[in-house]
A and B are shown apart, each in its own frame.
Chain A
Amino acid sequence: MSGLSRAWAVCAKDATQELRRKVAMVAVFFFAATALTLVSFAIGPFGLPAADRPALEAALLWIILFFAAATGLPRAFVAEEEAGTGLALRKTVPAAVVLAGKTLFNFVLFLAMAAVTIPGFLILLDWKVGSPLAVAATMVAGGYGLAVVSTFLSALVARAGQRNVLFVLIAFPLILPLLLTAISATIEATAGGFPLTALRVLVAYDGAATCGAYMLASVAWED
């Protein structure tokens, strides 16, 4: 079995487990729905001055996506330790392959969450998007970065105490450059432009995070 097919098998295993238990899915979607409802109830489609809307809406959207993701994505490795399957996985599959599979699953989970949240955002806040393609590209590049960093940090905190609090503490400063860039790209995309510079930064961040996570996967996960 090649590394790619084993990574795919890890992703499929996580997806099957998740469809069975629905812990991360329910947490992510419920948080996104609650935050979206709260934001739309507080400001609605007319609560923001027109000039401030693009920046505030982009920031609100990414805040919702980040915190919703933070409720589910860190479970990648933590769930293995809680279920007592971590040791078996460590002995049978190389750490980099496990990381790749779990990153893929988290990325799909993020895209699914974005696919539900964004239409809600469009309807409830009357969000006007000038360039849907650019928003989609930002979601893909930003979501992948979020998935890879969250998955790697999940491996780091999997066997630490106070891991849920710890994850947010260590993830926030690392993910913030990605969020700032994604917000900047979303503002530009909302106005109808194509945020080439911001997207390049996002892709560079994704590449750096992937290389770092790949090289350090065995240190973080194996004994």
Chain B
Amino acid sequence: MAAVIGAAFLWPKPASGFIGESSRIVFFHVPCAWTSTLAFLVAAAYSALYLWKGKPWYDDVAAAAVRIGLLFGILTLVTGSLFANVMWGSWWNWDPRESSYLLLVFLYSAYLFLRAAVEDPDRRPRIAAAYALFAVVLMPFLTFVAPRITASLHPQTVINPQGKILMDTPTRAVFFGALAGFSGLFAWLLSIDARSARLRRTRENGRPT
């Protein structure tokens, strides 16, 4: 991660068509968005595993993945807002893509509200898993379809109709390095959060589960 952060500021030249150094945000903004999406997919996968196998550990991982996904989702919004202020002169523009990401954050915040609202500890993981899986079925409409129905200011360097990544070689190298680094950071945070949830559960139940 340290190498990626250093390279992000020093190696690739700023992209043309962007004000000043603002294009460098791509090394942080897109990996945050990628990581939060990955986290929500992991949450769905572990929710499915919980419903299949019934092991509480899978629910711990799913809940931890949502919490970390939300953290990266908020970072996506913050970095996007910084870029928007430099490029378009406003912190928030109700651009379809930034609005859809805000809604994605709401969608998974609702997962945590739902968990908190179900008092029965046996039903809570089932209800949360059902919601996580239902949300992931409808998530593509929020993140990929709805933002493309109306015109967007958002740059299309990664996801675009041409299906190509529009970057030079140094930019591409740092970009993919950042994706790998953020994914690794996610895996590490997930492991800590899920293990800590398991410890809390063990303490509450008085025995390992």
Residues of chain A having any CB pair with chain B under 8 Å: 149, 152, 156-157, 159-163, 166, 169-170, 172-174, 176-178, 180-181, 184, 197-198, 201, 204-205, 208-209, 211-213, 215-216, 219-220, 223
Contact = CB atoms under 8 A, between A and B. Distances in A.
Given A166-B117, A212-B138, A216-B134, A177 B107 contact: no
Contacts of A152: 134
Interface string B6-43: 00000000000000000000000000000000000000
A55 B103 CA distance: 21
Given A156-B130, A166-B114, A173 B107 contact: yes
Nearest to A168: B110
B142 A181 contact: no
A209 B149 contact: no
Given A160-B118, A173-B106, A174-B107, A208 B138 contact: yes
Prevailing SS type, chain B contact patch: helix
Contact of B104 (A173, A180, A212, A216): A173
Interface in B105-151: 106-107, 110, 113-114, 117-120, 123, 126-127, 129-131, 133-135, 137-138, 141-142, 145-146, 149-150
Contacts of A169: 110, 113
Nearest to B116: A161
A213 B130 CA distance: 9
Contacts, number: 93
B53 to A, nearest CB: 14
B75 interface: no
B18 to A, nearest CB: 28
B118 A201 contact: no
B141 A201 contact: yes
B45 interface: no
B117 A161 contact: yes
Contact of B145 (A156, A161, A201): A201
Interface of B: 51, 100, 103-104, 106-107, 110, 113-114, 117-120, 123, 126-127, 129-131, 133-135, 137-138, 141-142, 145-146, 149-150
B8 to A, nearest CB: 32
Most buried by B among A170, A181, A201: A170
Contacts of B118: 159-161
B102 to A, nearest CB: 9
Contact of A159 (B51, B120, B141, B146): B120
Contacts of B150: 180, 184
A219 B130 contact: yes
B123 A159 contact: yes
Contact of A208 (B110, B119, B123, B137): B137
Contacts of B141: 177-178, 181, 201, 204-205, 208
Nearest to A160: B117
Contact of A157 (B100, B117, B135, B137): B117
17 contacts: A149-B138, A160-B118, A161-B119, A162-B117, A163-B117, A172-B106, A174-B134, A176-B103, A176-B142, A181-B146, A197-B149, A204-B145, A205-B138, A212-B137, A216-B134, A219-B126, A219-B130
A174 B145 CA distance: 13
A205 B144 CA distance: 12
Nearest to A210: B137
B149 A181 contact: yes
A159 B119 CA distance: 9
Nearest to B144: A177
A173 B110 contact: yes
A170 B110 contact: yes
